[in-house]
Amino acid sequence: MADVQAMCAQQAGATPATPGVDPGVDPRPDSRPDSCADAHIDPLASAEADLARVLATLSQGRREGRESLSLARLAKRSALPMSTLLRYLGVLADAHWVVVEATGDTRQHVRLTHAGLAQHDSLVQDTPLRSPAPARTGFPS
């Protein structure tokens, strides 16, 4: 009788209850692109790559003669969702690598600063950006 019930449930599209498994929890892994459900994905490395991509996109726009890019254009060119881009721009603005400017027509533009350009160049050259050397005191070292 249990076999008949299981077969009827399967044909109806229902899955039989499995002992020890909560039916309210989806057993499939999260398939969102920004999900870190896989153990081999390092969220810090992913964020660093995204930040570098934002800097590279702004640098490319600057080489094309654009002093700044609109948020929409930057999101499209960097292939990042707007919410993620805004979060990263907050980090980059705190580091003084970008400036987010509001124009009169309610648009916002992002401009790469000289420090941001230097950081991008250091990433391209694959050398870390050094902090300024301490001031000399006049004493021999």
Query: Which residue range forms the structural domain that includes residue 49?
Result: 45-125
Total domains present in the chain: 1
Residue 107's domain is classified under what CATH number? 1.10.10.10
Cα torsion 103, 108, 110, 113: sign: positive
Q: Domain for residue 16, yes or no?
A: no
54 lies in some domain: yes
Which range, of 16-30, 36-50, 71-85, averages the lowest pLDDT?
16-30
> Is the pTM higher than 0.85?
no
pLDDT at residue 50 above 80?
Answer: yes
pLDDT at residue 26 tops 80: no
Give a yes or no: residue 12 inside a domain. no
Task: Quote the pLDDT of residue 44.
Answer: 86
Portion of the chain with pLDDT greater than 70, in percent: 60
Q: Are 129 and 55 in contact (CB under 8 A)?
A: no
Distance between CA atoms of residues 22 and 122, nearest Å:
50
Tally DSSP H helices, then E strands, for the chain: 5, 3
For residue 22, being part of any structural domain is answered with no
Is there a domain that residue 71 lies in?
A: yes
Q: Assess if residue 96 is contained within a domain.
A: yes
- Which two tokens mark 97? 């690598």
The reply to whether 100 falls in a domain is: yes
